Amino acid sequence: MASNTDASGSRRLLLIAAGLIVVVVVAITALVLTTRGDDSGPGDDAVAPVGEVVDPTPADTATAAANWVVEENSHPGADGWDSVNASPSGISGYLDRTSTQRGESMKLYASTKAPTFVVEAFRIGYYGGKGARSVWRSPEIAGIVQPEPARDPATNLIEARWQETATIAVDDSWPPGMYLLKLQASDATSSFVPVVVRDDSSTAPLAVVSEVTTFQAYNTWGGCSLYTCPGIKGQKRAKIVSFDRPYGTGGGASDFVAFDAPLVALVEELGLDVSYWTNLDMEERPDAVLGAGRTAIVSLGHDEYYSRPMRDLLVRARDTGINLAILGANAIYRKIRWEPSWDGRPNRRMVNYRDTSDPINKTDPSETTVQWRSPPLSAPEAEIVGIQYECAPMQADIKIVDPTAWVFENTGVTAATVLEGILGEEYDRWFPDSPDNLQILAHSPVKCGGKSSFGDMSYWSTPSGGGVFATGTIRWTCALADACGPKAPVSAEDSAVVKAVTSNVLREFSTPKAGERHPSQPTASQYWPQAR
């Protein structure tokens, strides 16, 4: 979390020369994709009740190319996959990578007092509403108690320099996707380790990106995060954090279950063709992330921490007509850079000093780890997102102000629609750096840090023809499944609205250059008098 002081409708594809075989495939696909027990859906002139998701039809976007998603989700889902018995004295672990290709092996580093443990790999998806299926299970592995982590007193870097516990081969039986490895010890404790299985050759329109840099920024395992040091007396925060350690929250998964899993389930429920990545892949393999056929990058939840190559990828996408769906808030806020691990592996230590005390400021100011909007970088996130972060923590309702916008088609929302409690705990709004043609979709009164303001949801069409949709709230993706926690419950009706809007965006962004079909209407000045 940044502190208070830091500073329509679906496009119909033409089905040409459709023969009998195509008709049969279309009918079967529609039956698989339906969520209400029928495959008819409302007509073009129908208006669905508030929050009702209109069933996709085979002519809606590129669902025909997503047969692998439909087939994968025809497998039975798993019960209880999202439940772990995590404790500070229980089993924990991490991998030598955040993503992997099929055909590669990944190293697991685990620590447990139990004599043995097993690993089960759960792939996240829809699976009839179960949310995941079991893809692989290991034999019993001997447990080991690993040494205490190393700490650098100068930066409060915490690093678990552990012995390798197991090597996991990722073969063709692991479909591309987002995964949770569940470590289940013989002493009945358990924990998660998240990982993405990539397909670097994918030509899928959608690239869904897991925000692992933010997960790591908030990770206090071993004593310190980039925010606090609850495990080390007298220390305020770390300036460098390492991926060589488990995540200390979310049962070992950080915010993955709340922010990532609900969106993945929706994408696969809709049967859309998709590729999966972490935002570290944006650093290491940008050409694969922006591969041939890509029409949209989808950012989730709380995607705050960006290196220069990561930000450059989004600029490249913006400037070449690729759509951007920012399904969160506070995105691209803090600048990071990378250092190798203690044993020389690249991109394992994430650096964030937050001010010009960063030693690199003297030799290469462009790599100084301040906020992106601050000197010497002076690159506000609104140049990409359209809106940008203002304040936290807070909680408020989202107030829809432009119900005629294409993102709200067939959702039944009106100018009186309010989504209760979904704005928070960080929010974005219009800033002077926002595009001139920014369209405000929701404009919601907030109070944060003792001051009154407004949070915005926005859309803008880029000069290159892309569309950029931003929810302006971190709680958007967790609201898809009422997974925002007990302090931010989401009603079934409001969750359905969030699902319907997100479905519209995902379908439309699955085709190129949404901004050409839906040019944004500049409305910021209606809500912000200081807007140009």
Rounded Cα distance, 211 and 232, in Å:
26
Cα separation, 156 vs 228, whole angstroms:
10
- How do beta strands 296-301 and 240-242 pair? unpaired
The encoded tokens of residue 360 equal 């690199």
The two tokens of residue 25 are 């495939």
Say which DSSP state 260 is in: I
Neighbours of 244 (CB within 10 A): 23
Q: How would you write the pLDDT of the chain (532 residues) with one tens digit per residue?
A: 554 444 433 333 333 333 333 333 333 333 333 333 333 333 333 334 444 444 433 334 444 556 999 999 999 999 999 999 999 999 999 999 999 999 999 999 999 999 999 999 999 999 999 999 999 999 999 999 999 999 999 999 999 999 999 999 999 999 999 999 999 999 999 999 999 999 999 999 999 999 999 999 999 999 999 999 998 999 999 999 999 999 999 999 999 999 999 999 999 999 999 999 999 999 999 999 999 999 999 999 999 999 999 999 999 999 999 999 999 999 999 999 999 999 999 999 999 999 999 999 999 999 999 999 999 999 999 999 999 999 999 999 999 999 999 999 999 999 999 999 999 999 999 999 999 999 999 999 999 999 999 999 999 999 999 999 999 999 999 999 999 999 999 999 999 999 999 999 999 999 999 999 999 999 999 999 988 6
Give the residue carrying structure tokens 């405000």. Answer: 440
What are the contacts of 110-113 at 24+ separation with CB within 8 A? 110/141, 110/143, 110/144, 110/146, 110/162, 110/165, 110/166, 110/183, 111/144, 111/145, 111/146, 111/160, 111/162, 112/143, 112/144, 112/145, 112/183, 112/185, 112/187, 112/189, 113/89, 113/143, 113/145, 113/187
**Rg of the chain in Å (alpha carbons):** 23
Q: What is the pTM of this model?
A: 0.88
For 401, the 3-state DSSP assignment is coil
User: H or E segment at 317?
Assistant: helix 308-319
Q: What's 257's DSSP letter?
A: I
